[in-house]
């Protein structure tokens, strides 16, 4: 009898805050690629977002835990927020593979982020560490010249025109974020006053 190798999705993101677009994308990829689990990995310091202030990692991690708690196939990892310095996917995958060497990883990210993958740190190493899944979102389609064959799967997912940028702008303006993010995340944002004052964004 051959044993089943566990298929694990890795959804990397800043998740500032996590929203239903992220959750639908992960759920859809899990169903379409027959994944056993999806681990959400909030970034420590995102490489490509150094031009703006990012909410304290602990808040982004907690919101991700809250958002994923009700799904038995969704988990959250601290590997990126516990590693000092900028977050690079090569390190994320190295740490996850060290924790569980016996699983096949599928790194899920938006086609917009994945379009820049050839500029990611040690990108030539990434292909042997995971399969890559680019989910298309409204207005973004994957076009990357120079990728090795069969390393990226592009999946169209139900279009949810939600972005973290819009959720932050709404929270800052006192507008509702109900139904854009899970209920517990709405409450976490309100409880800690996230996105209202610049000071609240850096406090953990």
Ligand X SMILES: Nc1ncnc2c1ncn2[C@@H]1O[C@H](COP(=O)(O)OP(=O)(O)OP(=O)(O)O)[C@@H](O)[C@H]1O
Residues contributing to the site for ligand X (CB under 6 A): 13-16, 21-22, 25, 109-110, 112-113, 135, 137, 160, 162-165
Q: Which region among 12-20, 22-30, 66-74, 187-195 touches ligand NCN (by CB under 6 A)?
A: 12-20
When binding is defined by CB under 6 A, the residue of 9, 46, 79, 157 that contacts ligand NCN is: 46
Residue 89 interaction partner, one of ligand NCN, ligand X, none, beta carbon < 5-8 Å per kind: ligand NCN
Bridging pattern class, strands 86-87 and 45-46: parallel
Shortest Cβ 174–ligand NCN spacing (Å): 25
In terms of Cα–Cα distance, which of 125, 64, 57 is closest to 90? 125
In the bound complex, which residue of the shown chain has the CB atom lying closest to ligand X? 110
Question: Footprint of ligand NCN on residues 172-201 (CB under 6 A)?
Answer: none
User: Which CB sits closer to ligand X, 2 or 119?
Assistant: 119
Measured CA to CA, the distance from residue 152 to residue 149 in angstroms comes to: 8
Cβ neighbours of residue 132 under 8 Å, at least 6 residues apart?
Answer: 106, 107, 109, 114, 117, 126, 151, 152, 153
Told to check if 109 binds ligand NCN by CB under 6 A, we report yes
CA angle, 40 then 29 then 137, to 5°: 90
Cβ neighbours of residue 95 under 8 Å, at least 6 residues apart?
Answer: 79, 83
Measured CA to CA, the distance from residue 86 to residue 194 in angstroms comes to: 23
When binding is defined by CB under 6 A, the residue of 37, 78, 120, 131 that contacts ligand NCN is: 120
Q: Which region among 30-38, 52-60, 63-71, 81-89 touches ligand NCN (by CB under 6 A)?
A: 81-89
């Amino acid at each position: 009898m051959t044993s089943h190798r566990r298929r694990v999705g890795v959804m990397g993101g800043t998740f500032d805050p996590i929203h239903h677009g992220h959750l639908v994308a992960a759920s859809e990829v899990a169903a379409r690629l027959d994944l056993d689990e999806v681990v959400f990995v909030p970034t420590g310091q995102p490489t490509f977002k150094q031009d703006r202030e990012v909410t304290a990692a602990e808040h982004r991690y907690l919101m991700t835990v809250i958002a994923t708690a009700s799904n038995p196939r969704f988990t959250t990892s601290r590997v990126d927020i516990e590693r000092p310095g900028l977050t690079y996917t090569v390190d994320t995958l190295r740490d996850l593979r060290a924790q569980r060497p016996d699983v096949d990883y599928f790194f899920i990210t938006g086609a917009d982020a994945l379009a820049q993958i050839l500029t990611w740190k040690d990108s030539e190493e990434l292909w042997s560490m995971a399969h890559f899944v680019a989910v298309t979102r409204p207005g973004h389609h994957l076009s990357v010249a120079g990728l090795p064959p069969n390393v990226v799967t592009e999946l169209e997912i139900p279009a949810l025109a939600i972005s973290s940028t819009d959720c932050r702008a709404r929270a800052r303006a006192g507008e509702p974020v109900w139904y854009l993010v899970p209920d517990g995340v709405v409450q976490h944002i309100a409880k800690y006053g996230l996105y209202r004052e610049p000071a609240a964004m850096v406090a953990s």
